[in-house]
Amino acid sequence: MKLIELIYRRETRAPVLALTFATVVGVALVLARVVFSQNLKYGLLVGNLVLAWIPLVLALLAQRQFDSKGWRHWRFLPLAAAWLFFLPNAPYIFTDVVHVFRGQFVHFWADLTLIFIFALIGLVLGFLSLYLMHSLARRTWGAWRGWLFVLVVTGLSGFGIYLGRILRFNSWDVVLKPVQLIQGVSNWAENPLADSSTWAFPALYAMFLFLAYVMLYTLTHLPQMHATPAEMGSKRLEPTPA
């Protein structure tokens, strides 16, 4: 119950409700696809979307801990680290488009659209969690360092997606396969320019995430053009701070 109250708290209730609605619709579409085709192939989208929700939950927990105890409290840093490890799962769904090209092309556009729906939900989930953590970084280090934080996080996320799609690791392997994960990263570090996939894939994905976040961030700072005359009048009557 406390987790539900945290997720649907007043400050983030509107976007989380929209994401919940989109998630329900997406799952329903996958179920319809499974029933129609008698194939569980795209059931993996549901699992990936569950993983995409984890960074948002962790960001909300970290923000609550930050507001109550500050970032130096011992509980905040593990939550922030866990958020960073799981964040690549949110935009990772975009790479699931590869499954469309590995099968038959009978339902190509329907399957592509289905993946894009899940990818969009995952991307917004990730960006909402990043927005929450970005706000904490701004409050702690200031505006430009906050954007430096976003740049570093999107860069690490691009590399995390590379580890997942190309090297086939996942977030759980930090605990389940730490040795193999360290070896994979070490092999990459020895020759990061070995071929285009080792540097172009993570770099371009990081650039995509950063640019997409910047554009969505600016949309959240548009003036309220839909305000009614009554609302505008009440705003004019509000006293200005001295």
What are the C-alpha distances in Å from 55 to residues 62, 73, 75, 215, 235? 10, 20, 16, 20, 36
Q: How confident is the model at residue 230 (pLDDT cuts 50, 70, 90)?
A: low
Q: Is residue 168 part of a domain?
A: yes
Q: What is the extent of the structural domain holding 18?
A: 2-222
Structural domain includes residue 241: no
Residue type, 153: V
| Domain annotation covers residue 112 | yes
For residues 146, 50, 125 and 179, what is the CA-based torsion angle, rounded to 10 degrees? Answer: 30
Q: By the 8 A CB rule, do 121 and 23 touch?
A: yes
Number of domains in the chain: 1
Q: What confidence category does residue 169 fall into, taking pLDDT thresholds of 50, 70 and 90? A: confident
The model's confidence at residue 229, banded by pLDDT at 50, 70 and 90, is low
Q: What is the pLDDT of residues 109-149, one digit of tens each?
A: 888 899 999 999 999 999 999 999 999 999 999 999 999 99
CA nearest to 65, candidates 53, 74, 56, 54: 74
Confidence at residue 43, expressed as pLDDT on a 0 to 100 scale: 85
Question: Residue 241: its pLDDT value, please?
Answer: 43
Contact 117/96 with Cβ under 8 angstroms? no
Residue 242 lies inside a defined structural domain of this protein: no
SS3 of residue 176 by DSSP:
helix
Whether residue 107 lies inside any domain: the answer is yes
Measured between alpha carbons, how far is residue 36 from residues 25, 53, 187, 216 in Å?
Answer: 16, 27, 43, 35
Average pLDDT over the chain, rounded to an integer: 86
- pLDDT on residue 226: 58
Phi, psi of 87, deg, nearest 5: -55, -45
pLDDT tier, 233 (very low <50, low <70, confident <90, very high otherwise)? low
Q: Which residues contact 125 (CB under 8 A, 6 or more apart)?
A: 19, 52, 53, 55, 56, 90
Q: Considering the domain boundaries, does residue 130 fall inside one?
A: yes
- Statement: residue 242 has pLDDT above 50: no
Confidence of residue 50 (pLDDT cuts 50, 70, 90): very high
Q: Give residue 99's pLDDT band: very low, low, confident or very high (50, 70, 90).
A: confident
Q: Would residue 8 count as lying in a domain?
A: yes
Q: Quick one: pLDDT at residue 240?
A: 43
Task: Evaluate whether residue 227 is within a structural domain.
Answer: no
Give the mean model confidence (pLDDT) for residues 157-172: 88
pTM of the model: 0.86
Higher pLDDT, 239 or 85: 85
Percent of the chain with pLDDT over 70: 89
